[in-house]
Structure 1
Amino acid sequence: MKRLLPRTLRGQLIVLIIAALAVAQAITLWLFIDQRALAVRSALSLEAADRAGNLVRLLEDAPPALVPEILRAANSPLVQFSIANAPAVNHLNHAGPMHIVSRIRALLGADDKRAIRVELHQSAGPMPVMPGASPQMMRMHQEMNAGQMSAVELSLSIQLKDGRWLNMTSRFHDPPYQWVWSETATFALTAALLGLVLWLALGRLVRPLKRLAATADRIGRGEEAGPIGIGGPEEMQQLAAAFAEMQDRLARFVGERTRLLGALGHDLRSPLTALRVRAEMVDDDETRERIIASVAEMQEMVEATLAFARGMATAERVETVELSLFLGAIVDEFRDAGGEVALQGADTRLRLRPNAMRRALRNLIENALRYGKRARITTSVGKADVRITIDDDGPGIPEDSLERVFDPFVRLEGSRSRETGGTGLGLSIARTIVHAHGGEVTLGNRPEGGLRAEIRLPLGSGEGPRADATVGV
């Protein structure tokens, strides 16, 4: 079912409404055919009643010698008359359909009280062959009985003045429905006009939703979205106002926390500098060295805190970069410093903050080189995002700590302890920057050994794999 429906909201609504119109039209047509069959059946039964009533009057007024000829002339492949001493409809007190009885009595006279018996039912088999029928009549009889149309049989017995009965058996078929192409044309025209009106009307609803989605995408990437000018129905305007208010609140919340963190780290610099100066005045060498080492460690943490605050800021402008050139420049920096770094994979264009993303990638590559001796960077481009993986050959991270290491100031024991360097903010800064771009960064242990860091960044409008979509450095 999902494959039959269009992907867009506008298209799905139009298809569903036109489908509902088609179902309603089919039900109406079915009811019309049923009513038409009833009307035709009633008209045929009344015509047979008229024929029987007139035949009774003719037989009672004609000489007895002409009766066989009159009956033969009145017969047809679907209507057969006969005169017998007993009625063919032998149900006692059987009045039959009143409209047929009333029609016959109207032809015979209002004062006529003779017995009239009528039975109307579905046909169960072919009509019997008339005795003495001509060859032409026999062929017509066989052709009509060979048809597969639905048949209704009318049995009629009318008492004559001499006490005998005129029996009539008539079979008539529900005529097949002849498709009228004007009905198809009318439905097609109605569906086309309805689809056009719905397309134009729903556009007033869909366009604001598209603008809202584009704005949300820009905000998710950390770009300046600006005011949301959404018109349309009142509900859409309310949604846009609520979205804009949420955007302002989030911006204020993040801005306040970032400024608070930056101010705290900045204000700690002065007392730490004063402590270092006073530590130099301590006479005992061992005590002085310990105090200076502690102060240096605190200063390093303060600088890392300020760096973390800068990583949370979103003041840098978003630019479109070539992924291969962007990563190639970072790889060259590490190679110039003696690092063993390799780069391969697909190329594409990305919208990002170059300085912030460069810093996040550097943190991850530095971790790979520090704990795994070498780093292998691989890029792949999907339909909606680009993936950058950084593999190393280090000892990895315990499974229960893969998520915890992203918390600020978290440092694991062993190979990733403080002695190997770092303050525990590198991964936090990297994740903060990637989140600001609307992406995600995860860690995982490789089956063959080592750690894998994976960055997923969303592709924007018009971005995707290039024709020369491979890169290797």
Structure 2
Amino acid sequence: MGRRLFAGRRRDAAVKRLWPRSLARQMALLVALALLVAQAINFGLQLSASQRQRTTQTTAVAIARLAEAVARSESAASVELAPRLETKVNPINPEMTRRDDVAQRARQALADLGLSARQVIAAEAMGREFRYVRDPASGALRRIEGPKSNALILTAQVGDTRWVTAIAQFPRQDYGVVLWLLFQTMLLYGFIVLPVVWFVWRLSRPLRKLRAAVEGFTSSAPAPPVVEEGPGDIRRLIAAFNSMRARLVAMLDEKDRMLGAIGHDLRTPLASLRVRTELVEDEAERDRMAATIDEMNRTLDDILSLARLGRPSEEPSRVDLPGLVDSVVDDFHDLGVDVTAEESDRLAVTMRPTLVRRAVRNLIENAVKYGGAVRVRVKPEENGAVVEIDDDGPGIPPEDIERMFEPFTRAENSRSRETGGAGLGLALARAIATGHDGRLTLENRAEGGLRARLWLPCQGQAFAAAA
């Protein structure tokens, strides 16, 4: 039972793989299959009609020959003529196919001509390796070996031991009918399938444009409105998409304006508080207040950056990724942080450098806070480049790794509030990677610690190695 189910699933999977996916190809295939079935039925009907015609002609010839032989047998006056017309043995054997309908027609034909026969037997000798012929000298019937021959044999008993036999060969199959049907099929495919394919292709063109617009729609570069064309239902679908696109663009514009206003309204009081901290006489308290305000500013920057990632103002450019990572590592060196970067060849990647720089900085900051010493390397991988950041920290439980990418999420068992941060660094870094058609993953290393892997595609361009 299980094997049958598995085999059935495999067949279904094979059919799905072979079945065309586009509308034009599906319509063309359906029309082609319909024509093929129609032509197969037509082919069968034509062959059946041709077979009936051949049988009718052969039957008429055999009956005419039998009637002539019976008439000559009845009028034979001399003993010398009888052996030429008659046999003493019924030439039809059990291996032949009896044709009682032909025998009935032959009896009726003999009766209409006033000829008598005790019994009439008809049979088809299909594919037999013998045939009956009359000897040129004596005129008697003889069975001789020969090539395979399809024949209709009619024999009539005209005496106690006398049989008169007539043989009519079936005409050969007319293959001209087959060739004509094949030619007709090709004409039908040319005059029907090709126009249908062209018509369906034109019909699906608006759908292809709509699909391209949907796939190309991004918050940073919304696709232009799609021209409304095609049948009425497709026009209405395109109109609905254009309306939805306009609403989405308006919502994104409103979001940007709102974020700008929020950022301005929040930064102004934070700046005022930062100035007022200078009036605090207690230096330790003043430093704590200033650090808190700076943390609030960084959190605000992270929130606004995460919200605006969908519509970045920076244009992509071709940048050497190892050089960009080295510059970020140098910034940490200036702060006295233990971060080392392995040397690597130049790898040119199309990116928005400011955003990628921020993602790398967030990942290194995360590793420094919770992992101590940090090691960074850049290497080519899978038609792209990957930045690996290793630390020696306690790592993250496997079940919590994906949750760490959610905004405002922290793993409290390995991180404490004293380390600072609002839990937006990883969410922002993954959003930046996704915006570049890349990916960001976390994995616990076998030797201990955590590894962050930021992979960025090369977008089909080869790596630019330094000369």
TM-score range, shorter chain: 0.7 to 0.9
**8 Å CA contact 1:397, 1:445 repeated in 2:** yes
**8 Å CA contact 1:368, 1:374 repeated in 2:** no
Instruction: Give, in whole Å, the separation in 1 of the partners of 2:349 and 2:155.
Output: 89
Q: 2:460 aligns with which of 459, 464, 472?
A: 464
**8 Å CA contact 1:330, 1:362 repeated in 2:** no
**8 Å CA contact 2:347, 2:464 repeated in 1:** yes
Counterpart of 2:225? 227
**8 Å CA contact 1:119, 1:154 repeated in 2:** yes
Q: 1:334 aligns with which of 328, 333, 340?
A: 328
| Structure-2 change in CA distance of 1:394 and 1:135 (3 Å) | farther
Q: 1:82 aligns with which of 75, 83, 87?
A: 87
SS at match of 2:313: coil
Counterpart of 1:117? 120
Q: CA deviation at 1:225?
A: 1.1
Counterpart of 1:240? 238
For structure 2, the residue ranges without an aligned partner over 5 or more in a row are 1-13, 334-338
SS at match of 2:49: helix
Counterpart of 1:64? 78
SS at match of 2:217: helix
**8 Å CA contact 1:120, 1:155 repeated in 2:** yes
Q: 1:188 aligns with which of 183, 186, 189?
A: 186
Q: CA deviation at 1:63?
A: 1.4
Instruction: Give, in whole Å, the separation in 1 of the partners of 2:348 and 2:385.
Output: 11
Counterpart of 1:373? 374
Counterpart of 1:429? 428
**1:178 corresponds to 2:194:** no
SS at match of 2:87: strand
Deviations 1:132-167 (A, max 9, x none): 7879999993223xx2x6x46544325x4x777544
Deviations 1:375-427 (A, max 9, x none): 11234354xxx463433244333212212222222233466545445432222
Which deviates the most, 447-456 or 54-63?
A: 447-456
Pairing 1:276-291 to 2, within 5 Å after superposition: none
Counterpart of 2:386? 388
Instruction: Give, in whole Å, the separation in 2 of the partners of 1:229 and 1:419.
Output: 57
Aligned-partner residue type, residue 224 of structure 2: G
Q: CA deviation at 1:48?
A: 0.5
| Structure-2 change in CA distance of 1:170 and 1:237 (3 Å) | same
Aligned-partner residue type, residue 96 of structure 1: D
Q: CA deviation at 1:35?
A: 3.1
Instruction: Give, in whole Å, the separation in 1 of the partners of 2:109 and 2:154.
Output: 19
Which deviates the most, 162-171 or 223-232?
A: 162-171
Counterpart of 1:55? 69
**8 Å CA contact 1:53, 1:104 repeated in 2:** no
SS at match of 1:392: strand
| Structure-2 change in CA distance of 1:408 and 1:288 (3 Å) | same
SS at match of 1:142: strand
| Structure-2 change in CA distance of 1:425 and 1:135 (3 Å) | farther
Deviations 1:94-151 (A, max 9, x none): 9931x6544554465366676553344565965577797879999993223xx2x6x4
SS at match of 1:65: coil
**8 Å CA contact 2:439, 2:456 repeated in 1:** yes
SS at match of 1:141: strand
Instruction: Give, in whole Å, the separation in 2 of the partners of 1:448 and 1:70.
Output: 109
Q: 1:168 aligns with which of 165, 181, 200?
A: 165
- What is the RMSD computed on CA atoms of the aligned residues? 4.6
Q: 1:39 aligns with which of 29, 33, 53?
A: 53
Aligned-partner residue type, residue 186 of structure 2: A
Tell me the percent identity.
29
Instruction: Give, in whole Å, the separation in 2 of the partners of 1:141 and 1:95.
Output: 23
Structure with the greater relative contact order (CA < 8 A, sep ≥ 6): 1 or 2? 1
**8 Å CA contact 2:438, 2:454 repeated in 1:** no
| Structure-2 change in CA distance of 1:293 and 1:242 (3 Å) | same
SS at match of 1:375: strand
Aligned-partner residue type, residue 156 of structure 1: T
